[in-house]
Amino acid sequence: MLPSTVVSVPAVLAVGSMYQQWALLGLLFLIALAFGVGNVVMSHMLGPARHGQVKESTYESGVDPRGGTKERFNVRFYLVAMIFVVFDVEVLFLIPWLSAFNHAGHPGLKLGQSGQLGPPGPGALFVSVLIFAGILLLAYGYAWAKGVFKWD
Amino acid sequence: MDRVRRPAAGGTVRGILGTGATMNNWLLAATAVGAISLYLMLPHGRRRMSQFGALLGVLALGGGFVELGLWLSHGPLAAAVAPAGIFFYVFAAIALASAVGVVCHPRPIYCALYFVLVTLSVAALLILLLAEFMAVVLIVIYAGAILVTYVFVIMLASPGGGIPAADYDRVSADPLLAVLVSFVFLGMILQRLFGGPMDGFMLARAPLASGHAAAAGSFAGLAALGANLYAHYALPLELAGILLTISLVGAVMISRKHEPVVRILGAADVPAE
Amino acid sequence: MLGIFIAHLVFALLMVGMLLSVIAYLILLERKTAAWMQDRLGPNRVGPKGLLQPLADGVKFILKEEFVPANADRILFLLAPIVIITPALCGFAVIPWGGVLGAGAHLPGWLGGWTFPKNFSVMVANPRIGVLFVIAMASLSVYGVVLAGWASGSKYSFLGGLRATAQMISYEIPLVLSLLSVAVVAGTLRLGAITDSQASYFSTVFFLPAWNIFIQPAAFLLFVTCIFAEANRAPFDLVECEQELVGGYHTEYSSMKFALFFLAEYAAMITGAAVAVALFLGGWHLPWIDQLIYPGAPGQPLVTGWGGVILKFVVFWAKVMLFIFFYMWVRWTLPRFRFDQLMNLAWRTLIPLSLGTFLLAALFVYLRREGAIEHRGWLLLGNVALLAGTVAMNQLWPGESTNRRLPVFNSRYQSAAGVLRPN
């Protein structure tokens, strides 16, 4: 399926619909970006701008601001982010499984570096994902037992 | 003199490269110039030098890209890389420039944001290779999860607006050594890819080929990845799961060692009764 | 090929325009709904019944003063609204708004009469991993919140941004898992294909449409809860709860920059509602009379002409609007969660439930492939059992009470006697 000849401009659209889909998504991204930038620039240009010391001070419900934002915050927020990374990676590992499971047993599904092995059946894939989910549950249970999810 | 190696249009590069041709010296030179420019750009505190370094970096990048483009457009890979066209260079340039921003910017939060830009442009490069699953997962994991953690840590550790950054943020610790190590490593990769026979490129071609194969059926590339992960490489996969669990144990250990001194959200300065 | 590409691009531009104008009116709708639920009149001065209010708001937003606090990080402060609106306006790209327009359909004469050379999916783009694209855009939307909170240099913004980030990442995992539960049964990650798979009926006896909400109610509940949290909507809006944090991460913002945060929130609402409609509520499918009103070519019932596409588009948007009304209804009905309740709900209830839902769906697909069971009703049964089990667990589990008294010093709520003052 590799194209044998050099594709003419706009080449990125011509390799099939895949590039086309992503070119559209990329263009939409640019449109959205332009919308955001345009609005910020426009309000910068059109709106009035009057400066003042009190006006530009931080809003703290009317009183003079005390201290800065360099307050240390609870380490729990960091822990939530860490645990989120772990769970996110594990959950995203499920997506290729989902796709493989859908085609399980299909002869087109080749295994190994050179595709020398036959396709796995749904049973093998299911057991494999059960073990993977079991490990995920283990991590979850550990975090629960350690009181990570205890917010108070 | 090495440019002789690249024949006029129509010649076969493969034949020449296949007979043990050596490193592409022009790419190596561009790499070396890039190393010097990065060294100059790394924050020492001398503004003028970093601007000169940026100029040099642009030159190195442009030269390297021209060389790469000429080389690729005549090689056996010409047809395979043609669809990506100019977009490869655009996204690669964005990725490299943002990567320079990551290591050179004195404010950590900007470094993290440059890192997000690197992630996005590398995701675009993966899409050009038709590896869209990898691209989106890169965004979700790196931009959406890992860098959020970074930003949390930065918010935890660095001052807010107006206050100048600390010395250890503004000045890089060991610029010479870091540049040397990383660019020697880059040179080795380039040597592997451009110096020897073409099989190094099989690495880069595999997802492209599988993507094209997948374009025929419905997401066969992703399905093949999943089948290989969960059936053929099941044990490494489960080990990866265990590794993730261990990292979670580590995170819990680090952060739950002591009761946090500061209570949540404003009830901070309440003394113990 | 290029023609279809341009058609998609024009469609994208039209949808961005439509989205923005719908959002303007959603804000009016929100205010009217609030007024209606609180027995007030709501905005009624600009135009008949206040219908021109969005226009006035827009002009006001543009002409109001742009303001950057002295304490803010100027660049990031200006960047944050851009960063939040960009993914918010991209998420809708993979939504299948109106099925497929058959090849040979052509534009009306006054638009040039161009003929579609091949089938046109009524969506901006249809990548093979559409569900993942939605997830990626949702995960990128965290940045605008973080940046706004950090760059403002205000404590309210900082705390709001912090809470928002923790909330958004906590609810992302059950969100992803609930999407995957649907995808594993449908066997695809394309939103269009998942929608099409719902255009049938549960069985020959019950003429219940085979929408995923009726097949996997647990996944639907999870998804709805999570998109409420991801969009920072009530009852999960403690990111910007005005009693504590004034405006949360956008406290310091004014003029169009503030409007961009508002637009992003509503765009996220619409995208969330549209994904819910596409994945769970049958998309364009109108039960019982679908065969009558979507006249497709025989053998290709999903591909229709202009009439069918427009009808599907209208049906889809009607469902989206109902769903958005549901958002508003909830906002003015349910009280706000406390932060510990929010985190407990995500980590202690939703994540195990979502993992269970996913494994249940996987088990169902496995058993179906093995030929042990055939009917989708088993999955419904399993989901109901899972939900009942979760509720029962929450009742029976010896939970520790998180409600405890904290001394409130120097406050008018301080009890009169018996409490030590500091120093």
Of the residues A30, A63, A102, the best mutation for testing chain C's interface (the one with the most C CB atoms within 10 Å of its CB) is A102
Asked if C83 contacts C147 with a C-beta cutoff of 8 angstroms, the reply is: yes
C165/A47 Cβ within 8 A: no
Residue C209, beta-bridge partner list = C201
B244 occurs within a structural domain:
yes
Asked if C114 contacts C5 with a C-beta cutoff of 8 angstroms, the reply is: no
Chains touching A (at least 3 CB pairs under 8 A) are B, C
Closest CB to C139: pick one of B140, B214, B266.
B140
What's the gap in Å between the CA of C92 and the closest CA on chain B? 16
- Tell me the residue range of the domain where B227 lies: 217-258
* Alpha carbon distance C19, C26 (integer Å): 10
Q: What ipTM was predicted for this assembly?
A: 0.82
Query: Could you identify the residue written with the tokens 């890992």?
Result: B146
Higher pLDDT, A64 or C321: C321
pLDDT(B261) > 50: no
Which chain A residues in 15-34 lie under 8 Å from chain C, judged by CB atoms?
A: 17-18, 20-25, 27-29, 31-33
Nearest residue to C14 (alpha-carbon basis) of C256, C313, C244, C260: C313
For residue C196, which amino acid is it?
Answer: D
Enter the tokens of residue B126: 């993966």
pLDDT(B235) > 60: yes
Residue A111, beta-bridge partner list = A117
A128/B234 Cβ within 8 A: yes
Enter the tokens of residue A116: 């020398």
Low-confidence residues of chain C, pLDDT below 70? Answer: 1, 203-206, 241-243, 290-301, 398-423
Which chain C residues in 361-380 lie under 8 Å from chain A, judged by CB atoms?
A: 362-363, 365-366, 369-370
pLDDT(B17) > 60: no
What region, left, alpha or beta, does residue C349 occupy, with left being phi > 0 and alpha being psi -120 to 50 degrees? alpha
A7/B83 Cβ within 8 A: yes
* Alpha carbon distance B204, C57 (integer Å): 52
**Chain C residue nearest residue B151, CA to CA:** C146
Q: Is residue B253 packed enough to be buried (19+ CB in 10 Å), middle (13-18) or exposed (0-12)?
A: exposed
Asked if C107 contacts C113 with a C-beta cutoff of 8 angstroms, the reply is: yes
* Alpha carbon distance A149, A147 (integer Å): 5
Query: Could you identify the residue written with the tokens 């050594």?
Result: B177
> Is A144 at the interface with chain B, CB within 8 A?
no
B144/C71 Cβ within 8 A: no
Q: Is residue C251 packed enough to be buried (19+ CB in 10 Å), middle (13-18) or exposed (0-12)?
A: buried
> Is C348 at the interface with chain A, CB within 8 A?
yes
User: Could you report how far apart the first and last alpha carbons of chain B are, in Å?
Assistant: 82
Of the residues B119, B151, B154, B244, the best mutation for testing chain C's interface (the one with the most C CB atoms within 10 Å of its CB) is B151
A120/B140 Cβ within 8 A: no
Nearest residue to C261 (alpha-carbon basis) of C46, C23, C422, C97: C23
Q: Which helix (H) or strand (E) holds C297?
A: strand C296-297
* Alpha carbon distance C64, C71 (integer Å): 21
CA angle C83, C85, C86 (to 5 degrees): 70
For B2, how many CA atoms within 13 A lie in the half-sphere containing its CB?
A: 14
pLDDT(B91) > 80: yes
B134 occurs within a structural domain:
yes
B179 occurs within a structural domain:
yes
| Residues in chain B closer than 8 A to C151 (CB atoms) | 161
Closest CB to B144: pick one of C128, C140, C150.
C140
Q: What is the DSSP string of B20-55?
A: T----HHHHHHHHHHHHHHHHHS-SS-HHHHHHHHH
Of the residues A7, A58, A97, A149, the best mutation for testing chain C's interface (the one with the most C CB atoms within 10 Å of its CB) is A58
> In terms of domains, do B133 and B63 share one?
yes
Q: What is the pLDDT of residue B29?
A: 79
Q: Is the peptide bond before C96 cis (omega within 30 degrees of 0)?
A: no
> In terms of domains, do B123 and B231 share one?
no
Model confidence over C122-174: pLDDT tens digits?
Answer: 888 888 788 889 889 888 888 888 888 888 877 788 888 888 888 888 898 99
* Alpha carbon distance C267, C327 (integer Å): 13
SS3 of C303, please?
strand
pLDDT(B121) > 90: yes
Of the residues C150, C155, C158, C402, the best mutation for testing chain B's interface (the one with the most B CB atoms within 10 Å of its CB) is C150
pLDDT(A37) > 70: yes
* Alpha carbon distance C344, C305 (integer Å): 49
* Alpha carbon distance C104, C114 (integer Å): 9
User: Could you report how far apart the first and last alpha carbons of chain C are, in Å?
Assistant: 78
* Alpha carbon distance C351, C173 (integer Å): 7
> In terms of domains, do B248 and B149 share one?
no
| Residues in chain C closer than 8 A to B152 (CB atoms) | 165
Which chain C residues in 178-207 lie under 8 Å from chain A, judged by CB atoms?
A: 180, 183-184, 187-189
> Is C393 at the interface with chain A, CB within 8 A?
no
* Alpha carbon distance C300, C109 (integer Å): 27
Max CA pair span of chain A = 74
Closest CB to C150: pick one of B109, B116, B219.
B109
**What is the tally of structural domains in chain B?**
2
Asked if C12 contacts C124 with a C-beta cutoff of 8 angstroms, the reply is: yes
Using pLDDT thresholds of 50, 70 and 90, give the confidence band for residue B38.
confident
Max CA pair span of chain B = 86
Question: Beta strands of C95-174 (E only): which ranges?
Answer: 100-101, 120-121
Q: What is the pLDDT of residue B19?
A: 35
Model confidence over B173-230: pLDDT tens digits?
Answer: 777 888 888 888 888 877 776 665 555 455 455 544 554 444 444 345 677 777 778 8
| Residues in chain A closer than 8 A to B149 (CB atoms) | 78, 81-82, 84-85
C129/B136 Cβ within 8 A: yes
Average confidence score pLDDT of chain A? 74
| Residues in chain C closer than 8 A to B218 (CB atoms) | 128, 188
Model confidence over A134-146: pLDDT tens digits?
Answer: 988 888 888 888 8
* Alpha carbon distance C340, A152 (integer Å): 6
Q: What is the pLDDT of residue A2?
A: 35
**Chain C residue nearest residue A43, CA to CA:** C62
* Alpha carbon distance B222, A97 (integer Å): 9
> In terms of domains, do B244 and B212 share one?
no
Q: What is the pLDDT of residue A6?
A: 32
Asked if C126 contacts C94 with a C-beta cutoff of 8 angstroms, the reply is: yes
For C313, how many CA atoms within 13 A lie in the half-sphere containing its CB?
A: 15
A83/B208 Cβ within 8 A: no
Model confidence over A99-138: pLDDT tens digits?
Answer: 888 777 666 666 655 555 666 777 788 888 888 889 888 8
| Residues in chain A closer than 8 A to C363 (CB atoms) | 126
For chain A, where are the alpha helices, taking DSSP H only?
17-46, 75-102, 122-145
Instruction: Quote the crossing angle between the two packed helices C142-151 and B108-128, to the nearest 10°.
Output: 160
- Residues of C near B (Cβ–Cβ under 8 Å) read 70-74, 76-77, 127-129, 132-133, 135-136, 138-140, 142-143, 146-147, 150-153, 158-159, 162, 165, 169, 172, 188-189, 339, 406-407, 409, 420, 422
Q: Which residues of C166-193 are buried (b: 16+ CB within 10 A; e: fewer)?
A: bbbbbbbbbbbbbbbbbbbbbbbbbbbb
> In terms of domains, do B233 and B195 share one?
no
For C178, how many CA atoms within 13 A lie in the half-sphere containing its CB?
A: 31
pLDDT(B164) > 80: no
